[in-house]
Amino acid sequence: MTQAELLSPKGMLVKELAQEIRTLQTAQRPQGLYVSSGSEPMDRCLPWGGYAAGSLLELTCSKKPRTAGWGGLSLALRIAKPWLENGKYLVIVDSHRRLCAPSLVAMNIPLERLIVIRTQNATDWVWGLDQVLRSPAVGALISPVTELGDRSARRLQLAVEQGGGVGIFLRDQGSAKRNPSWAEVQWLVQSVTTRPSSQTPILMERWFDLELLRAPGLQTTRRVRLGIDAQGEWKHCDERKASKSTEHLAAQLALATPRRPNVAAS
Amino acid sequence: MTATQAKSVAGTSPQMQWDWIEHEPQEDIEEIYSLAERLMQFSPMVGVEPIEKNLWAGRSILQPQSILMDITGLESWYSGETAMAQQIQKWLTDEGLFGCIGVADSVGQAWAVSNYTFRKQIHQAMLSIERAEHSLQEAFHHNQRICIVDHAANHKRFSPLPIESLRLDIETVAKLHRLGIRTIESLEALPRASLTSRFGSRLLDRIDQCLLARPEPISVRSVGESMEVCLDFEHPIFQLEQLQETLQECVYQLCRKLDSVSHGAWRLVVRLALETPIMQVQETAPRAIPSHVIQLGLFQSSNEPTHLLWLIHGCLERNPPQLSKNLGIKQVLVQAPWTSAMRWKQNPLFDCQTLKYRDEAAKLIDGLTSRLGRNQVVGLSVVQDPIPERQSKFKPLTGIRNDGSQQSTEKKLRKKPSQDFQNTRSVVPGTQAAWSRPTQLLVNPTPIKVQCDSTGTPSAVEFPIDTGLQTIAQCVGPERIESSWWSGPTLRRSYFKVALESGTWWWIFQDLTTKDWFLHGLFH
């Protein structure tokens, strides 16, 4: 829709109707409660400077990975962390029994407030997620998603609105396009292979290109490059550039080391 | 049975497949408490041996391994103690279990004879299996292992038993061994006064419990018949709707009973007695049919009827009784075999956020467990072990605790995570960096093909189901990980963290024994 169309009576009506639909859809949600992701560039992309309490979020990867390793779980854990600070619980769906405890501890995830659930079929999965999202004790839920029907997706959205936490779904782009989604925010995640810098050891920080595909009021696609460092904290592109430039500046300003006399030769 | 013995027993039969399985202490605890519950058919007073802080000599793990049963006055129903013990042993054999039974005047005496009278017999049975003289079934099931201590027997009956049979801690036994005292007989010869000064009063207590039959309490799992509600129907019911109404009535009654004594249920058992109507039963067929049993373990004791009903309904949805016009429910029994006082902790001085949501979390965990199953709702903890697959420990969040006593309630409620009141990090930060270990570890490492450069560093990798070779953009390693010699077959691996051109990060290793490559972890 062009600017002129938006300002026309028809456009205004569409806008009003969209607003009404949105109000109806999120009537049950705790109003005005938004939690920062902890990363300023990511928050800047989001309409309210954070994720809304009682909403669903999807992290998608571009192609269906045969073996996962695209970093979605690490990103989800980092996004979920601020939701656990008030003593709420984190629930992870791990049907394949793959979760590795040392890495969670290294990312400062409180294991005493972690509940891992395993489901054996789609019915149990939807039921389990519904119960988890509906509970006020749960701050964040992380679950992989393969197929999700329209009614189930809506059921989960209503549940998370009641619970007031956040549900983070990990899925591939194909599944996200094929199936309807009631997620408020959808990111496309691409893991980036960066050249190792002199300051950080090789493979000790990981960078991602995130493309915001869906958010309320989103007009154009927004992109951000974010990293997670060895302490499990966010790292931003600016920081990386700043650290590099500092290094270069320091190198320029440093006093030249006097050449040592060649004792052996004398 | 030690691992070496098990291995030699398994090795006697070429057809027998064997594998190393990590010991699951929680499974043992669950099993022994479940067995105690089932043994209540012989006596209402059944408990599990109380364990102490220190390990008893002769034991390898700090876990209850014996079941105590008070049979006072019950032997007449079985025509004597011997007949009763035989019946219990037959029942154990039918259950596929192997047990030694001791009947005596006190717990100490019964424990000593049941644990130490048959050791030689069991050892010889093991040897006969190793020598292929007997099969496993023959060696363990053709002999009776029942020892009955006569009321009139004096303490000389226990003289030949080793001092370990007194349930002494390892330190005391080691000290006595250094003095050359190995049997109860030689211990008896020492003056009592000197024993207290040298070994403490505990040794004398143990001697008295065994030789003088000093009574000891049995911590009975059931709180008695009062914590159950039973409803009989004149005619069997065939509709689940009717059943739900009845269950509601039973659960409300039970909760009122629990509330009157300020108790909450840790465990619920619902027994639905099934029966075929008289008119339809054939003369030859038995009328009684095994009951439909629902067992529930709770994360936190509760006497809220709505919560308990919700849990029972979850179980009924998952596993409904197969009712038909020929099979109805004759009786509904709702029991709370394990209850504890609903004592709540005083609010802490600082605002402890974890406790704030604990009640809600407990309800959620109970609900998930009732529908998904106990092993599907678990907690995660870190284990100090060099082998990556053993570093993560999944443990069901509901069920029986190690000691099985009421103290668990208080202990759990008293437990407060460190530093939580400040709303800062609620765990101690890991010593390792975030990207040093993968977030996901494959249960079974997947074989892969790897190309290495001249230095032995992986340069390209091929996953079996993917087509084509994937180039490795960056690689860190090797990180050498080896298992301890005492923990099963030796594992020697060289781990590499690799970033592929596609952006995915893998954790791969080379088995240094076979030189094969495996994908073990995903930095997901």
CA B352 to chain centre: 31
Amino acid letter, A210: L
Between CA B326 and CA B238 the distance in angstroms is: 9
Q: A118 and B519: CB-CB below 8 Å? A: no
A265 found inside a domain: no
Asked if B280 and B162 sit in the same domain, the reply is no
* Ordered mean pLDDT values, 10 residues apiece, chain B (524 residues): 66 63 76 81 83 84 88 84 87 83 89 86 78 71 77 76 90 89 88 83 87 81 67 82 86 87 82 70 51 79 87 83 77 83 56 69 85 86 83 80 41 40 37 77 86 83 72 84 76 88 86 88 86
Burial of B364: CB neighbours in 10 Å, binned 0-12, 13-18, 19+:
buried
CA distance B356 to chain A (A): 7
Q: What is the pLDDT of residue B351?
A: 53
pLDDT at B343: 57
The Cα B383–Cα B390 span in angstroms is 7
CB contact under 8 A, B397 and A113: no
Q: B360, A137: Cβ pair inside 8 Å? A: yes
Residues B303 and B258 sit within 8 Å (Cβ to Cβ): yes
- B235 and B299 inside one domain: yes
Q: How many whole angstroms separate alpha carbon B424 and alpha carbon B244? A: 46
Any residues with CB less than 8 A from the CB of A170 and at least 6 apart, and which?
A58, A59, A60, A72, A73, A76, A142, A143, A144, A145
**CA A25 → CA A28, A158, A205, distances in Å?**
8, 9, 39
Domain closes at, from B343, B361, B378: B343
Backbone phi and psi for residue B464, each to the nearest 5 degrees, phi listed first: -55, -40
Radius of gyration of chain A (CA): 22
Report how far residue A256's alpha carbon sits from residue A258's, in angstroms, rounded to the nearest whole number.
6
* Within-domain flag for A214: no
Q: What is the pLDDT of residue A86?
A: 80
Q: Which domain holds residue B292?
A: 225-343
Amino acid at B244: Q
Which of B311, B343, B375 marks a domain boundary? B343
**What span, in angstroms and rounded, lies between the C-alpha atoms of A144 and B211?**
63
pLDDT score at A142: 94
Which H or E element spans position B110?
A: helix B107-116
- Closest residue to B380, CB basis, from A101, A202, A229: A101
A/B interface, count of CB pairs below 8 Å: 224
**Contact residues, chain B, for A99 at CB < 8 Å:** 380, 392, 439-441
Interchain proximity A112–B417, CB inside 8 Å: yes
**Whole-angstrom Cα distance, residue B232 to residue B234?**
7
CA nearest neighbour of B128 among B9, B222, B32: B9
Query: What backbone phi and psi angles, to 5 degrees, belong to B456?
Result: 90, 10
Looking at the structure, do residues B160 and B52 belong to the same domain, yes or no?
A: yes
A101·B357 Cβ contact <8 A: no
Of A129 and B340, the structure prediction assigns the larger pLDDT to A129
Residue A204 has pLDDT above 60, yes or no: yes
Interacting residues of B332 by C-beta distance below 8 A, sequence separation 6+ = B230, B231, B243, B246, B247, B250, B270, B271, B272, B273
Pairing type for strands A185-192 and A55-61 reads parallel
Whether residue B287 contacts residue B276, with contact meaning beta carbons closer than 8 Å, is answered with yes
8 A C-beta contact, residue B258 and residue B265? yes
Whether residue B148 is contained in a domain is answered as yes
CB-based contact B434 A103, cutoff 8 Å: yes
Same domain, B190 and B331: no
- Residue A46 tokens, joined: 């989001």
Q: What angle do CA A116, B338, B60 make, to 5 degrees?
A: 70
Report the candidate in B234, B259, B329 with the shortest Cα–Cα distance to residue B289: B329
Are B443 and A98 in contact (CB < 8 Å)? Answer: yes
| Residues of chain B contacting A192 with CB distance shorter than 8 Å | 503
Distance CA A191, CA A209 (A): 6
Calculate how close chain B gets to A252, using CA atoms only, in Å. 30
Q: Are residues B295 and B444 in the same domain?
A: no
pLDDT value of residue A92: 94
Q: B103 with B237, same domain?
A: no
Same domain, residue pair B136 and B239: no
CA distance B497 to B495: 7
Q: Where are the beta strands (DSSP E) in B13-114?
A: 46-48, 67-69, 101-103
Q: Is the dihedral of CA A198, A200, A201, A207 positive or negative?
A: negative
* Cα dist from B410 to B52, B346, B413, B415, B418, whole Å: 18, 11, 5, 8, 18
Residue B380 lies in a domain: no
Q: Quote the CA–CA distance of B124 and A18 in Å, as a whole number.
A: 83
Query: B200 and B251: one domain?
Result: no
Does the distance separating the beta carbons of B434 and A137 come in below 8 Å?
A: no
Residue A215 lies in a domain: no
* CB contact (8 A) between residue B357 and residue A89: yes
Considering the domain architecture, whether residues B207 and B59 belong to the same structural domain is answered as yes
Per residue in A27-85, pLDDT tens?
666 666 788 888 888 888 888 888 888 889 999 887 665 557 788 899 999 999 998 88
A236 domain-assigned: no
Please indicate, yes or no, if residue B415 is contained in any of the structural domains: no
Q: Which of residues B179, B211, B243 is at a domain's end?
A: B211
Q: Which residue of A has its CA nearest to B505?
A: A69
- Rounded CA gap, A96 and A144, in Å? 11
Domain count for chain A: 1
The arithmetic mean of pLDDT across residues A157-173, rounded, is 89
What is the predicted pLDDT for the residue at A31?
65
Beta carbons of B264 and B340 less than 8 angstroms apart: yes
Question: Contact A146/A58 with Cβ under 8 angstroms?
Answer: no
CB B380 within 8 A of CB A116: yes
Chain B residues touching A115 at Cβ < 8 A: 361, 364-365, 368, 377-379, 397
Chain B contact probe: residue of A60, A63, A92, A112 with most B CBs at under 10 A: A112
Q: What is the per-residue pLDDT for B449?
A: 86
Predicted local confidence at residue B19, as pLDDT: 66
Q: Is the peptide bond before B478 cis (omega within 30 degrees of 0)?
A: yes
How large is the ipTM? 0.79
CB-based contact A126:A151 (threshold 8 Å): no
> Is residue B393 situated within a structural domain?
no
The answer to whether residue B156 sits within a structural domain is: yes
d(Cα B378, Cα B373) in Å, to the nearest integer? 10
Contact B450, B460 (CB under 8 A): yes
Report CA-CA distances (Å) from B425 to A105, A133, B148: 11, 24, 58
The alpha carbon of residue A208 is apart from the nearest alpha carbon of chain B, in Å, by: 9
The alpha carbon torsion through B468, B473, B478, B483 (nearest 10 deg) reads -50
Q: What span, in angstroms and rounded, lies between the C-alpha atoms of B466 and B21?
A: 32
- pLDDT value at position B428? 36
Residue B254, domain member (yes or no): yes
B202 and B272 inside one domain: no
**Residue B137 in domain:** yes
CA angle, B40 then B42 then B45, to 5°: 50
Question: Does any domain span residue B297?
Answer: yes
Q: What is the CATH number of the domain that holds B287?
A: 3.30.1490.100
Q: How many domains does chain B have?
A: 3
b/e for B328-349, b at 16 or more Cβ within 10 A?
bbbbbbbbbbbbbebeeeeeee
Helix (H) or strand (E) holding B9: helix B3-12
Q: Decide if B388 contacts B520 (C-beta within 8 A).
A: yes
Q: Strand B288-302 vs strand B263-275: parallel, antiparallel, or unpaired?
A: antiparallel
**Residue A67: which CATH number?**
3.40.50.300
DSSP result, chain A: --HHHHHSHHHHHHHHHHHHHHHHHTTTSPTT-EE--S-HHHHHHSTTSSEETTEEEEEEESS--SS--SSHHHHHHHHHGGGGTTS-EEEEE-TT--B-HHHHHHTT--GGGEEEE--SSHHHHHHHHHHHHH-TTEEEEEEE-S---HHHHHHHHHHHHHH-SEEEEEEEHHHHHHS----SEEEEEEEE--PPPSSS-TTSSEEEEEEEEE-TT--S-EEEEEEE-TTS-EEEHHHHHHHHHHHHHHHHHSPPPPPPP-TTT-
Residue B275 shares a structural domain with residue B202: no
Q: Residue A6: inside a domain, yes or no?
A: no
- DSSP state at residue B346: P
φ, ψ at B523 (rounded to 5°): -85, 75
Contact between chains at A71 and B394 (C-beta distance less than 8 A): no
In whole angstroms, give the CA distance from residue A47 to residue B193: 82
Given a contact cutoff of 8 angstroms between Cβ atoms, the answer to whether A167 and A156 are in contact is: yes
pLDDT for the residue A253: 46
- Residues B50 and B198 grouped into a single domain: yes
Helix (H) or strand (E) holding B4: helix B3-12
Q: How many Å apart are CA B356 and CA B145, to the nearest integer?
A: 52
Q: Which domain holds residue A42?
A: 26-191
- DSSP bridge pairs for A207: A192, A227
Q: Does A70 touch chain B (CB under 8 A)?
A: yes
Shortest CA distance to B492 belongs to which of B510, B519, B517, B518?
B510
